[in-house]
Each structure stands twice: as C-alpha cells, then as structure tokens.
Amino acid sequence: MQVSMTVNGNAVTRDVEPRTLLVHFIREGLSLTGTHVGCETSYCGACTVLVNGKSTKSCTMLAVQAEGADITTVEGLASDGDLHPIQEGFWERHGLQCGYCTPGMIMSALGLLDENPNPTEDEIRHGLEGNLCRCTGYHNIVKAVEYAAAKMRGEEPAPAEWAVKS
C-alpha cells in the first residue's frame, strides 16, 4: 500500500505494509531515528511526534492513517544549525540525562507550547504527564519548558536557579 505525507517539510511517498506503525515508518522507512520506540503501548511517550501540529504517540497510529498529514519529528526542529528554543531549553536547563525520552518529551512540550505559550508549572507538568523519564525527576524538564516558552514569546528566560546569587 502506498502512503504519502510531509515529514519535516519534505514530501515523502513510500510503499508500506498496512499494519506498519507510524513510528516504524519514520525510523525504518525514512531513517529518522530521533523518534524512539519505548513501550509500543502509548504509555511512555518516547515516540511522540507532531501530526498536523498535535502531539501524537506514533506507536499508536498506523502510517496509512497519516496519509496526507504534516508530520514533525525532533529532526525537523533545528534550523540552519540553530537549535529550536525547546531544544535549547533542554540544553540550557539540563532537562535530560540519558536522553532516551528527550525527543518525545521535546515534541510533547512543543505541542503544549503551541497551544499555550505561557503555561504555569502545573500546566507544564500536566501537559507532559503522558511522557515518562526514568532519570531526571522532571524538575529540570519543567525548567527547560519554561525557558523555551519565554524564548518563543520573545522574552529573556529567567536565570537558572543555580546561577542566582542569594
């Protein structure tokens, strides 16, 4: 079966088995390995991508269901060598450790910020509750999203807690 969609701004058409999950299409069919396969049950969120601008766990969607869709993966965020503000936030606020959950966390955070450019800490935590991280304890992930939100609003992010002198 043939499927066509736009992935990170590029039109793609491929033959797929009807049962091919979108996550496998992205990773194996397009060699975009930033989208991770975690649990394959939609529990962990490591496979999160944007489908037509909405956060979607790509392990729960067939590639054929994405026919004609606009897909954004973590590889589609940086522009001309510059990190997207959400990627920069994870870097600047140490929002990652092992990095396995990071692409899905970044994509979920971007979906959240597209819907709510000025979320509270509670709204960030709620917006990311479909993504699991086994390393960081989430505090720095929340700080990374706050950083990105400020940058995306054209504001200067608050200084990191460890940079504030008492």
Residues 9 and 61 in one domain: yes
CATH code assigned at 136: 1.10.150.120
* pLDDT number for residue 42: 87
Q: Are residues 99 and 39 in the same domain?
A: no
The predicted pLDDT at position 166 comes to 57
Tens of each residue's pLDDT in the chain, 166 residues = 999 999 999 999 999 999 999 999 999 999 999 999 998 788 999 999 999 999 999 999 999 999 999 999 999 999 999 999 999 999 999 999 899 999 999 999 999 999 999 999 999 999 999 999 988 779 999 999 999 999 999 999 998 887 666 5
Encoded tokens for 69: 């869709």
Do 18 and 69 belong together in one domain? yes
Per-residue confidence (pLDDT) for residue 165, from 0 to 100? 61
The DSSP string of 75-136 is GGT-BTTBPPHHHHHHHHTT--SS-SSHHHHHHHHHHHHHH-SS--HHHHHHHTTTS--SSS
Kindly give, in sequence order, each residue whose CB lies less than 8 Å from that of residue 74, ignoring residues fewer than 6 positions away.
34, 35, 87, 102, 103, 106, 107
Pairing of strands 70-72, 2-7: parallel
Tokens of 159: 């200084």
Structural domain ending residue among the three candidates 76, 98, 114? 76
Q: Domain check: are 39 and 58 in the same one?
A: yes
Q: Is residue 9 part of a domain?
A: yes
Do 69 and 112 lie in a common domain?
Answer: no
Q: How many domains does the chain contain in total? A: 2
Do 91 and 150 belong together in one domain?
Answer: yes
* Same domain (yes/no): 131, 98: yes
Residue 163: predicted pLDDT: 66
Beta-bridge mates of residue 21? 62
Say what the pLDDT of residue 162 is. Answer: 75
Where in the sequence is the domain holding 57, given as residue range(s)? 2-76
